[in-house]
Structure 1
Amino acid sequence: MTATVSNLADRRPPSLDPLLALTAEPMNAVNAVILDRMQSRVALIPELAGHLIAGGGKRMRPMLTLASAALLDYPGSRHHRLAAAVEFIHTATLLHDDVVDVSAMRRGKRTANIIWGNPASVLVGDFLFSRAFELMVEDGSLKVLKILSHASAVIAEGEVDQLTAQRRIETGEDQYLAIIMAKTAALFAAACRIAPVVAEAGEAAEDALDSYGRYLGIAFQLVDDAIDYTSDEATMGKVLGDDFREGKMTLPLILAHARGSADERAFWKAAVSGERASDSDLAHAVSLMRSTGAIADTLERARHYGRRAIDALAPFPASRAKAAMTEAVEFAVSRAY
């Protein structure tokens, strides 16, 4: 590989600012679609959906749709509605995830399920999925519909797979990677792939941008799983150690367990089963992850997939869009939140 994630000591810290600037104008059109399509005669629907949609998220996935279109110099506007569909799919999955995980905080705010209850959160998530499919049908491309509907099914499979792996200490790296490829990377890949479809850029461009999104999504989730043990609530916008207390088998835990002594492995087994879930247990878990190199190696894996994402952009000529998409990868693997 010739492309690398930049040495952060040689330049300013990577930022999403170039991607934000690149997509600012079309994102206004996307936001207008989102605002319009989240409306309903049932007042609770826009109230609850708006709580999450306006809750401070970066809108990374629809931005990637817009950036991919810019990379291809696509002059049309079909991707605006499709980017909104991508955001609706993502928001629906977040609403459902927070119910499944019994989450209390997201992006520094109380989750919708805590405010309005689980039934309302699930049903509004279903509403947003339906809106996403309406937008896909209106676009009229069966290929786009196939890409986004398949991604939606894969995401659901990944969430179920994660649920079955929860509190199972025998979960290994292969299953973990399959889970994050499904629950996170699939939508990143689909968000990027639909742009060359509407731009009629050909299969090679579709495959390249699919790879870019997929590897970026894997890197993004790896970093998320590492910082669940190393960041803080104010920075993350969620409770520190949620994954630990929920018995989620993420890579830092899998590596620390595999590398631990007999006593340490006994601790991990008790922790994953829910028997060791106090603040002091969490502090001990973080200490073990650091001493075994589990967190450092998780972040190194993220950098590896980040490099693969950047390499996937090699077929495209240098441009403002390519630079912004490259820096988005660098940001993803170096971010604090």
Structure 2
Amino acid sequence: MVMAAPREDRPVATGGIDALVSLVASDMERVNSFILSRTGSDVALIPEVASHLISSGGKRLRPMLTLAFAQLSGYSGDGNIKLAASVEFMHTATLLHDDVVDESDMRRGKLAARMLWGNEASVLVGDFLLGQAFKMMVEVGSLAALDVLATAASVIAEGEVWQLSAAKDLSTGEEAYLSVVQAKTAALFAAAAEVGPILSGLDMHEREAARAYGNALGIAFQLVDDALDYGGAADLLGKNVGDDFREGKITLPVILALHKANDTERAFWTRTLEHGEIADDDLNMAIKTLRKHGTLEATLERARDYGNKAIAALDTFPNGPMKQALIDTVAFCIARAY
């Protein structure tokens, strides 16, 4: 369970994500209907590919953050529905593009779209969804919200390129890796949260608090994924365990293990991650090495630290059911590892 630094008037995490799901349920129904209406196209392949991923599950945590912070900020209107749908389209487009870059076979427990329709269709449908996302942002009519989400789209693309350039590079340090995570993953969490207070016309203090929550939650979420890739199960990840290893990704558990590696271990990481020469039992050896040095737990400890930062960022907002639900969501995201 995640707990922030002690403070008498701060609620503590007590549950999972159910409270958040319940509090945004009616808005989320409208978002889901809106998403379906915006995946339509005269080009049959577009709704076919888009629906494959959009309807394949996923908790839709990012659009739920938009709805949650709009509620927490006292917003009344329908701009939150379009912005939440925009956030989900941005996320879906990123997944379609990621699977092509990473040559992934699975996504959310199903065959990746690229395995069914090819890389070209996956990339182009992702582009279509990005276009639809920006169209919806413009329809809301908030330049500030458009700026935040457009900036996030740019930062995410930067993060993807940054990660690509760092792949197989054993010299990647913790600070550089966390910068990639902040760009590639946390940027959309942060933007999704920030647009809620923007819609409500709140000042920069509330915007920054919402953004800080989303940013810290996004980093924690990714660090848990990093640990799960070596110590989890496919049904938790929605992809194959060990994909990061097979793709030569230098994630935090490996970075921390390299700090403690002896010559034999360093030669192992060089052969497998840098040169891509992976034998049948190498994933098990990687997991054994990470556990030997305690780097999976160290990664989760850092995730808990970011979870604490996310909870602390909510101090700006008044106590109540939605604030408690957002605190519980932090605990839920980290508890996936256990």
- Return the alpha-carbon distance in structure 1 between the equivalents of residues 217 and 153 of structure 2: 18
- Give the gaps of 5 or more residues in structure 1: none
Q: Deviations over 1:86-142 (max 9, x none)?
A: 000000000000000000001110000000000000000000000000001111111
Aligned residue number for residue 321 of structure 1: 322
- Return the alpha-carbon distance in structure 1 between the equivalents of residues 252 and 300 of structure 2: 10
Q: Deviations over 1:196-232 (max 9, x none)?
A: 0110011111000000000000000000011000112
Equivalences for residues 138-217 of structure 1 within 5 A: 138-217=139-218
Amino acid at match of 2:47: P
Amino acid at match of 1:182: A
1:334 CA displacement: 1.1
Aligned residue number for residue 67 of structure 2: 66
Aligned residue number for residue 235 of structure 1: 236
- Return the alpha-carbon distance in structure 1 between the equivalents of residues 105 and 263 of structure 2: 34
- Return the alpha-carbon distance in structure 2 between the equivalents of residues 6 and 256 of structure 1: 33
Aligned residue number for residue 263 of structure 2: 262
Q: Deviations over 1:269-304 (max 9, x none)?
A: 111124442341110110110110110100000000
Amino acid at match of 1:172: G
Aligned residue number for residue 125 of structure 1: 126
Equivalences for residues 1-337 of structure 1 within 5 A: 1-2=5-6, 14-336=15-337
**TM-score, L = length of structure 1:** 0.96
Q: Deviations over 1:211-267 (max 9, x none)?
A: 000000000000001100011223322111000011101000111111111211111
Give the secondary-structure state (helix, strand or coil) at the position aligned to 2:281.
helix
Note if contact 1:192-1:210 (Cα within 8 Å) is conserved in structure 2.
yes
Residues 261 and 87 of structure 1: is their aligned pair in 2 closer, same or farther, counting only changes over 3 Å? Answer: same
Note if contact 2:12-2:327 (Cα within 8 Å) is conserved in structure 1.
no
Note if contact 1:245-1:274 (Cα within 8 Å) is conserved in structure 2.
no
Amino acid at match of 2:228: I
Identical positions, percent: 52
Residues 122 and 23 of structure 1: is their aligned pair in 2 closer, same or farther, counting only changes over 3 Å? Answer: same
Note if contact 2:86-2:132 (Cα within 8 Å) is conserved in structure 1.
yes
Q: Deviations over 1:34-73 (max 9, x none)?
A: 0111110111100100000001111000000001111112
Give the secondary-structure state (helix, strand or coil) at the position aligned to 2:116.
helix
- Return the alpha-carbon distance in structure 2 between the equivalents of residues 270 and 6 of structure 1: 45
- Return the alpha-carbon distance in structure 1 between the equivalents of residues 322 and 12 of structure 2: 17
Give the secondary-structure state (helix, strand or coil) at the position aligned to 2:316.
coil
1:6 CA displacement: 5.7
Note if contact 1:5-1:303 (Cα within 8 Å) is conserved in structure 2.
no
Moved more, 230-239 or 244-253: 230-239
Note if contact 2:217-2:310 (Cα within 8 Å) is conserved in structure 1.
yes
Moved more, 66-75 or 240-249: 66-75
Give the secondary-structure state (helix, strand or coil) at the position aligned to 1:76.
coil
Computed over aligned residues only, the root mean square deviation of the Cα atoms, in angstroms, reads 1.5
- Return the alpha-carbon distance in structure 2 between the equivalents of residues 21 and 152 of structure 1: 29
Q: Deviations over 1:301-333 (max 9, x none)?
A: 000000000000011111110010000001111
Moved more, 106-115 or 267-276: 267-276
- Return the alpha-carbon distance in structure 2 between the equivalents of residues 164 and 5 of structure 1: 42
Amino acid at match of 1:145: L
Note if contact 2:99-2:112 (Cα within 8 Å) is conserved in structure 1.
yes
Amino acid at match of 2:300: L
- Give the gaps of 5 or more residues in structure 2: none
Give the secondary-structure state (helix, strand or coil) at the position aligned to 1:314.
helix
- Return the alpha-carbon distance in structure 2 between the equivalents of residues 329 and 234 of structure 1: 20
Give the secondary-structure state (helix, strand or coil) at the position aligned to 2:230.
coil
1:5 CA displacement: 10
- Return the alpha-carbon distance in structure 2 between the equivalents of residues 117 and 274 of structure 1: 27
Residues 5 and 233 of structure 1: is their aligned pair in 2 closer, same or farther, counting only changes over 3 Å? Answer: farther
- Return the alpha-carbon distance in structure 2 between the equivalents of residues 187 and 243 of structure 1: 21
